[in-house]
A and B are shown apart, each in its own frame.
Chain A
Amino acid sequence: MEGRPRTRPGIIGRALSLTLVPIAAILGGLFVAAVIIMLSSLVQGSLDPMLPLEAYANLVEGAFGSVRGITFTLLSATPLILGGMAVGLGFKAGLFNIGAQGQFLMGALGAAAIGASMAGASPFVAIPAAIVAGALFGAAWGFIPGALKAWTGAHEVVTTIMLNFIAGIFIGYLITGPLEAAGFSFSRTGPIGNAALPTFFGTDIHLGVVLAFALVPVVWWLLWRSTLGFEIRTVGANPDAARYAGMHPALLTILTMSLCGLLAGLAGAGQILGISGFMTASYGTSIGFDAISVALLGRAHPVGILLAALLFGAMRAGSGLMQIKAGIPVEIIDVIQATILLFLAADIVVRRLLHIRAPGSEPTELQTVTRTYGSGTPT
C-alpha cells in the first residue's frame, strides 16, 4: 500500500473490502466452535481431533447435500431475512430493535387467527387477509416501543425485551382461551384451510420464501432511493442535524419501529401460513437474537442481511443432521453465532491481525443507539 497512489477501487474491490471483516469473523467463529467441539469430545471419553471436521461435514451435508436439505436451508433463511431486515432497518434509524421476537410472535398470532377464521374463504381472499393481519399485528407490536421512545424517551432496548415477554404471555392466554380450537389434544389455533400459502416446484418452498426474497430490493429501495429512507438514515446518523433540517425524529422513530415490526410480523405470518399451519400456546422461536446476529453480520444492508440469513439458515438446517450423526448439540450454532458477533465487534483487533484496511464493520448509526440510552428523547 505504501508509496503507491491509491486508485479508486472498482465494485469488486469495494465488495471485497466490505466483506473481508465479516468473512474473517465467520471463519473465526467456526474455528472457536471447532475448538469447543473438540474439547466436548472429552466428555464422551477421549479427545477426538477429527470431531469438528466430522461435525462440520455433517452440517454442510444436512444443509446442501440434498434437495430436501437445500429446501430446508431456504425455509430456515426466510424468517431470518425478514427478521434481519426488521433489526437492520432499525439500526439505520439509530434504533436497536431487540423486539423482533415479540413482533414475530404477534405476526404469527395474527396470521394464525385470521387464517383460521377465513379457512373456508377463497384462497385469493384468505391468503392476503392472513398475511396482512400478520404484518399489522407485528407492526402494532413495533409501534408500541417506537411511540414509547418518541413520546417518553423510554429506551427501546429495555421496552422491546419486556414486550417480547408480554407477547409470549399474551399468546399463551389467547390460545388457551378465546382462540383455542376445539377437538385437539393440545391448545392450538384452528386449521388455516384455504389460507395456507401455495408451494412451488413440488417442494415445501412456499410463497413466503418468495416474498422474503422480493422484499430485499424493496427495503433497499426504501432506504437508499426514497425520501423516507433518506430521512430515516439522517435521523440515524445525526438526530440533531435531522431536526434542524426540518425532519421529525419522533415521527420517524415511530414509523421506523412500526415498519420493523411489520417485517418481523411478516416473518411470523410466513412460518404459520407456510409451514406449521397453526399456532400453539407455547410457540418457541429463537428468531430474536438470530435476527440481531444476521443484521450485524450483514452490516444492516439488505443484501448483506440476505447473505447472512442464508448462512445462518444453512447452519440451522444442517445442525439437526450434525446432532444425530456427530452427537453435537444444536446449541453449538448459537455459540458460533455469538463468536462471529464477538469478532465483528472486535473488528479493530481482527483488522490489525490480518492487516485488513477495510471500513469498520459496525453500522455507524449504532452510536446513536447507545447515546440515547438512559436519556434523551428524539423530539
Chain B
Amino acid sequence: MDVVYGIPILGVIFQFIGYVIEVTPGIAPIVLGLATPIALGALCGVMNERSGIVNIGIEGMMLSGAFAGFLAAGLWQQAFGGDPLGPFGLTPALLVGVIAAIVTSMALSALHAWLSITVAADQIISGVIINVAALGLTGYLNRLLISPNPRLGAGTFSSFRLPPEVADFPVVGWILEMFVEQGPIAMSVVIFVIVLQVLLFRSRWGLRTRAVGEHPRAADTVGISVIRLRYRNVIIAGIFAGLAGAYLTLEGTSSFQNNMTAGRGFIALAAVIFGRWTPIGAFGAALLFAYSGAFGQAVRIRPPGDEYADLGAIMAAIPSQVYGALPYIVTIVILAGVVGRSIAPAAVGRPYKKEEQT
C-alpha cells in the first residue's frame, strides 16, 4: 500500500490524461464499430419511449435480427452464390441478410406493439418475453440449422479505407478515420442519428410522437390517433434493432453465437436515459460506453509504457477482468448518477385507453 500512497495523485491524473490521448487515435476506428449496435439499439429505444412505450425487448430483437440475417445470407450464398454488386463488398447474399434481419426485428416489434398497445399487457413483461423467446428460438434453430452446417456464411461487408495521408493527419484525420473507415451499417448510424434528431424535434411527425409520449389524452383530443401512431413508431423502430443485429453477424463478425448480443440491448436502454431521450444524446452515450470497452482492450494490448510509470503500476495492480467489465460498470455508474436528474416521457409504460379517466 505504501507504493500507492507514495504516488502524487495529481501526477497520476496527468499521466492518465496523457495515456488516454496516446491510445485514443489507435482505438478510434473500433469505437464507432463497438458503438454501432448500442447506438442503433438506443435509436430504437428513443423512438419507443418517445411514443410512450417501454421496450426491454431490444436485446431480443437484436439477437433475432443477428440470427435471421446470418442464416438468410448464408443460405442465399449457398444456393445462389453471387459476386459483389457495389461498394463495401455488397453481395446479394449480404443484402438478403440485412433485409431478413430487419424484417425479423420488425415482426418482433409488431408483437411488442400488439402486446403493449392492444392487449395492454405489462410492457416490461412483454419485452422480457421477447428476450426469452429470442434466446430460446435462436439457440434452438442454431443447434438445428447452423451447427450441422459449419461452412454456412456469407462473409462480411468490407470497410471503407482512407488514403494514409489523410488518416495520419492529426485530430481531423483521427476523427475522419473513426467515422469513415467503417462498413456501411456503422457509417449509416451517424446519418440515422441526425435524421431522427431533426425529425423528432423539427417535424410534424416528431411533434405528434412527443405529444403521444408525454400526454396521449391531449394528443387524442386534438385528433392524433394515439394507437396508430404508437403502432407505427414501435414497428418502424424495429428497423434499428434489426440493423444492429445485422451489424453483429454481417459486418462486425461473420458468425453467429448463442446470446452474442451480450447485453448490448440493455446498455442501449441506459444510453437512452443518459442521452435524455434524444438521438444525439443517446449516440454520445453509446460512444462513451463503446469507448470504455475499447479502452479496456487497449489497456490489455498496450499497457502504459515507461513514461507513465506510476500509472502503469496502478493499472497493473488492477486485474485485467476489471477492464472487461468496464462497459457494464460505466452503465451502472452513469444510470445512478444521471437518472435522478433526467425526466422520461411522462406516459412511458402506460397503455392508452380512450375511455380511461386520468
List residues of chain A with CB under 8 Å of any chain B CB.
36, 40, 43, 96, 98, 148, 151-155, 157-159, 161-166, 169-170, 172-173, 177, 289, 292-293, 296, 329, 331-335, 337-339, 341-342, 345-349, 362, 366-367, 369-371, 373-375, 377
Contact = CB atoms under 8 A, between A and B. Distances in A.
Nearest to A163: B332
A172 B323 CA distance: 13
Contact of A154 (B126, B136, B336): B336
A362 B126 CA distance: 11
Contacts, number: 166
Nearest to A98: B128
Interface in B121-161: 121-126, 128-129, 131-133, 135-137, 139-140, 142-145
27 contacts: A40-B140, A40-B144, A152-B340, A154-B335, A158-B269, A158-B273, A162-B263, A162-B331, A163-B332, A166-B325, A169-B325, A172-B321, A173-B319, A289-B128, A329-B143, A329-B144, A331-B140, A334-B132, A334-B139, A335-B140, A341-B128, A346-B115, A347-B121, A366-B122, A370-B350, A373-B349, A374-B54
A329 B332 CA distance: 36
Contact of A374 (B121, B262, B273, B332): B273
A161 B263 contact: yes
A338 B137 contact: yes
Nearest to B134: A338
Contacts of A148: 332, 335-336
A296 B321 CA distance: 35
Contacts of A154: 332, 335-336, 339
Nearest to A44: B144
Given A148-B332, A334-B132, 17 more contacts: A40-B140, A155-B339, A157-B269, A169-B328, A173-B322, A289-B135, A296-B125, A334-B133, A334-B135, A342-B129, A342-B133, A345-B115, A367-B122, A370-B54, A370-B122, A374-B49, A374-B339
Interface string B109-128: 00000010001111111101
Most chain A CB inside 10 Å of its own CB: which residue of B132, B329, B337, B345: B132
A335 B321 contact: no
Nearest to A169: B325
Interface residues of B, number: 54
B324 interface: yes
Interface of B: 49, 54, 56, 115, 119-126, 128-129, 131-133, 135-137, 139-140, 142-145, 262-263, 266-267, 269-270, 273, 319, 321-322, 324-325, 328-329, 331-332, 335-337, 339-340, 342-345, 348-350
B335 A155 contact: yes
Most chain A CB inside 10 Å of its own CB: which residue of B319, B331, B332, B343: B332
Contacts of B345: 374
Contact of B328 (A162, A366, A375): A162
B62 to A, nearest CB: 14
Most chain A CB inside 10 Å of its own CB: which residue of B56, B128, B345: B128
Contacts of A371: 349-350
Contact of A335 (B136, B262, B337, B349): B136
Nearest to A367: B122
A197 B91 CA distance: 59
Contact of A341 (B125, B139, B263, B325): B125
Contact of B125 (A36, A331, A345): A345
B321 A169 contact: yes
A332 B125 contact: no
Contacts of B144: 40, 43, 329
Contacts of B115: 342, 345-346
A369 B122 contact: yes
A173 B349 contact: no
